[in-house]
Amino acid sequence: MYKLLANDGIDPLGKRLLEEAGFTVDTAHIPQEELAEKLKGYDAITVRSATKVREALIDVCPNLKLIGRGGVGMDNIDVAYARSKGLAVINTPAASSLSVAELVFAHLFSGVRFLYDSQRKMPVEGATNFAGLKKDYAKGIELRGKTLGIVGFGRIGRETAKVALGLGMDVIVSDFIDVPKTLSLEFSGGIKANIPLRQVDLENLLAEADFISLHVPFTEKPILAKEQFEKVKSGVGIVNASRGGVIDEGDLLDALNSGKVAFAGLDVFENEPTPRQDLLSHPRISLTPHIGAATNEAQERIGEELAGLIIEFFNK
């Protein structure tokens, strides 16, 4: 019987599937500094983003055959090293795409109706300055008919485009690779539609988009920095639910303060888990603490997919 440590937790469905397949699944979290000693007795470990599985840990756990990441990014695992030692390293890249896409729209809706600011001020001023706040938030806009520029048209970019098209937005996309010319949408009731897509280069996207959402992997150099902010439409709204570092945070603050960027929605930060305070307290940023994939549905899909992959690997 194989022993698995789900050190950052696993959805109950995934745990049940693994146990039904004969695995012993421990979900009690072992602190990072104790793992070298305690992981030795396990055949597999699953992690989210908290637990790190580095070379030194892999070296002292000769029984370990598989490292599973519930989610996409594997920055916390020495993937190449693990594979060079014969370990399988797996993740569940598609399971959370829709949840991240929906969070993008939470930020966009928050941005165009000033919810981020209203939520902060209503508890303090709502009873004494209702009319004043009502006036402050009077110039909201609708998303329908506006252009969303999506940078990075992979799994999450596509889901984001589908939500945007469903809302009646125009979508333009920018990616290194050629993207499909149409995107198929499925509405409730089984109604399907193929909607044409327009791929443009980043320069054109910056010039045309009313809103920009970033869906690229971590990049050494920010995709949006001073030079790019100079080229965006005045009053653009920007959302980053991809990775910290994809936007230069100092340049974003300057662009917000100058009014070039109307608002930003940030789920990810350069310096997680201690983002800079001037971002956190900026009046025109809608904030979430890296919760893009943190929905019940996504976690259940992640657990189910992870369990399936682990069972398949050990049954081979």
Ligand X SMILES: NC(=O)c1ccc[n+]([C@@H]2O[C@H](COP(=O)([O-])OP(=O)(O)OC[C@H]3O[C@@H](n4cnc5c(N)ncnc54)[C@H](O)[C@@H]3O)[C@@H](O)[C@H]2O)c1
- Active site includes 33? no
Q: Which is nearer to ligand X, 35 or 95 (CB)?
A: 95
Q: What's at 178, amino acid-wise? A: D
- Active site includes 83? no
* Cβ count within 10 A of residue 294: 17
Sign of the CA dihedral with 122 first, then 125, 128, and 131 last: negative
Which listed residue (158, 243, 282, 301) is catalytic? 243
- Active site includes 107? no
- Candidates 9-17, 24-32, 89-97, 305-313 — which segment interacts with ligand X by CB under 6 A? 89-97
Q: How far is the CB of 230 from ligand X (least distance, A)?
A: 18
d(CA 266, CA 118): 17
Can you state the angle between helices 97-112 and 296-315, rounded to 10 degrees? 160
Q: Which is nearer to ligand X, 158 or 233 (CB)?
A: 158
96 sits near ligand X (criterion: CB under 6 A): yes
Q: How many Cα atoms are found within 13 Å in the side-chain-facing hemisphere of 186?
A: 2
- Candidates 31-39, 132-140, 203-211, 217-225 — which segment interacts with ligand X by CB under 6 A? 217-225
- Candidates 35-43, 53-61, 224-232, 237-245 — which segment interacts with ligand X by CB under 6 A? 237-245
- Candidates 62-70, 81-89, 171-179, 306-314 — which segment interacts with ligand X by CB under 6 A? 171-179
User: Judged by CB under 6 A, which of 215, 233, 282, 301 binds ligand X?
Assistant: 215
Say if CB 224 and CB 250 are below 8 A apart.
Answer: no
Using Cβ positions, the residue closest to ligand X within the complex turns out to be 154
User: Judged by CB under 6 A, which of 9, 111, 157, 244 binds ligand X?
Assistant: 157
Report the 3 state secondary structure along 232-277.
CCCCEEEEECCCCCCECHHHHHHHHHHCCEEEEEECCCCCCCCCCH
Nearest in space to 302 (alpha carbons), one of 12, 79, 44, 74: 12
d(CA 20, CA 154): 34
Say if CB 193 and CB 185 are below 8 A apart.
Answer: yes
Q: Which of residues 13-32 bind ligand X (CB under 6 A)?
A: none
Q: Which is nearer to ligand X, 39 or 103 (CB)?
A: 103
Q: What are phi and psi of 233, to 5 degrees?
A: -65, 140
290 sits near ligand X (criterion: CB under 6 A): yes
91 sits near ligand X (criterion: CB under 6 A): no
Which listed residue (20, 272, 297, 312) is catalytic? 272
Q: Which is nearer to ligand X, 114 or 153 (CB)?
A: 153
Q: Hunting for tokens 């006036």 — which residue is that?
A: 135
User: Judged by CB under 6 A, which of 41, 217, 259, 289 binds ligand X?
Assistant: 217
Return the active site residues: 243, 272, 290
Which chain residues interact with ligand X by CB under 6 A?
72-73, 93, 96-97, 100, 151-157, 174-177, 215-219, 223, 241-243, 267-268, 290, 292-293
